[in-house]
Amino acid sequence: MKYLYKIGLMLSIVMTAGACSGQLDTIQEYLDAGETIYAAKMDSVDIRPGYNRVEVTGLLKYGMDTKQCVIRWLPDNDSLVVPVERIDSVDTFRVFIENLPEGTYQFEIATYNKAGYRSITTTKGSKTYGERYISSLRVRSLLNMVINGDDLLLNFSSEMAEAVYTKVFYLNADGEELEQMVTRGNNQLNIADWKPRGAYEIKTYYVPESNAVDTFTVSSTGVFPERIVGMDKSKFREVILNNDIRLNAWGGALWKAWDNQYDSSNFAHSDNTNPVVFPAWFTFDLGEKALLKRFDLFSVVRDDLNYNGGNMKSWEIWGRDDEPVDASWNGWTKLLTCNSLKPSGKPVGENTEEDNVYISKGEKFEFPTDIPEVRYIRIKVFDSWSGQGYIQFSEFTFYRSE
């Protein structure tokens, strides 16, 4: 029994020695190379994509003797060496790699210590974004603008899913540059202080990835609308030129056309006992120069006078910016031709309910956009609804552009 035990022990030793010898063969070249020393590795490495660039960030937690960081990337097969000076026990590493055409890259980041030893390499992929990406972006659409009292309401389309937010840059009434944000989920923006016909710019902002270092924008520009306001009638005054007709008969007066009284007993009226020959005209001063946008006429409204009597049927509005020195038409510019509308088209004395409702609300006439600024107005009347040689009306309003 003892003999057999010794034989078994010897065989076991021989077999074990043979097995160890085979395993060492696979790592022998590393054992022969000796001990490998690595520099401290950068921690928490992140690569943030941007506009034809990336930002490489990380934390230097270990190895106060770290001297430099080497970053290599493909497919450019290029590299960047960044000196490192350790100060704190935990330092932040941050560097931009610029001029990287739009595409996908693979980065290798390693640090070196003062002895020349290298850290284990960190490998990360990242993209860069450029004009191709920007061309795919869309600015949020402005559907319309509505003047609401003194405010301007901007209505937008729904936001794009990838967009972060939209901003509007504009001028206020004093010409100062302001901006407001259109937040996500909100399709309206109210601007209380704005410059009529002032330029604006709409910018929509995009971030291609959550950790992107750059925000991308696309924009559109435009001009705010005009603000149309009624002129200050307290500044109006009558101007009487030779051969102008007077409108002071039957208790009437021209100044009653701008006293904001619209009832049928308050009017301007020429003398129908001394009929005029059409065309006939009258003149007045607006009190200030203005770019006129609209003219509203309110006829004398009464069952027997609607589309009848001296209510004006056709006329022209002329203007000039300087005070007239005589009764001639020299220096006057025709601004607008007006024809009173009778919806039914029925003859004088026959009015429908639609006719009566229409004339009671006043008639509105738009001035052309190419007229000059004027201060003095001359209205030349060609016909009254009855055809008789006199004219009458209750009120008129001029609207200007601000």
CA distance 204 to 215: 10
How does residue 15 score in pLDDT terms, banded at 50, 70 and 90? Answer: very low
Which pLDDT score, from 0 to 100, does residue 30 have? 43
Contact criterion met (CB below 8 Å) for 228 and 369 = no
pLDDT at residue 262 is higher than 70: yes
Cβ neighbours of residue 75 closer than 8 Å, sequence gap 6 or more: 103, 105, 106
Which pLDDT score, from 0 to 100, does residue 373 have? 97
The CATH architecture to which 43-129 belongs is Sandwich (2.60)
Q: Percentage of the chain surpassing pLDDT 70?
A: 91
pLDDT tens-digit readout, 24-56: 554 455 445 456 788 999 999 999 999 999 999
Average pLDDT over residues 347-373: 97
Site of tokens 């609308």: 225
User: What are the residue ranges spanned by the domains of the chain?
Assistant: 43-129, 137-225, 230-401
Which pLDDT score, from 0 to 100, does residue 369 have? 92
Cβ neighbours of residue 122 closer than 8 Å, sequence gap 6 or more: 41, 42, 45, 108, 109, 110
Would you call the peptide bond into 75 cis, given omega within 30 degrees of 0 as the criterion?
yes
Q: Which two structure tokens, joined as six digits, stand for 281?
A: 């005209």
Which pLDDT score, from 0 to 100, does residue 36 have? 72
How many CB atoms are closer than 10 A to CB 309? Answer: 20
pLDDT tens-digit readout, 142-200: 999 999 988 999 999 988 888 999 999 999 999 999 999 998 889 999 999 999 999 99
Which pLDDT score, from 0 to 100, does residue 16 have? 43
Q: Which two structure tokens, joined as six digits, stand for 286?
A: 């607006």
**Intrachain domains 43-129 and 137-225 with the same fold:** yes
Dmax over CA atoms of the chain, in Å, equals 161
pLDDT at residue 19 is higher than 70: no
Residue range 137-225 forms a domain whose CATH class is mainly beta
Higher pLDDT, 245 or 24: 245
pLDDT tens-digit readout, 65-80: 999 999 999 999 999 9
pLDDT tens-digit readout, 275-330: 999 999 999 999 999 999 999 999 999 999 999 999 999 999 999 999 999 999 99
pLDDT at residue 9 is higher than 50: no
Would you put residue 116 in left (φ > 0), alpha (ψ -120 to 50) or beta? left
How does residue 338 score in pLDDT terms, banded at 50, 70 and 90? Answer: very high
Which pLDDT score, from 0 to 100, does residue 398 have? 98
Instruction: Indicate the CATH number for domain 230-401.
Output: 2.60.120.260
Which pLDDT score, from 0 to 100, does residue 119 have? 95
Per the confidence metrics, is the pTM higher than 0.95?
no
What letter would DSSP give residue 225? P
pLDDT at residue 116 is higher than 70: yes
Contacts of the segment 16-19: beta carbons below 8 A, 24+ positions apart = none
Which pLDDT score, from 0 to 100, does residue 284 have? 98
Which pLDDT score, from 0 to 100, does residue 37 have? 84
Contact criterion met (CB below 8 Å) for 354 and 361 = no
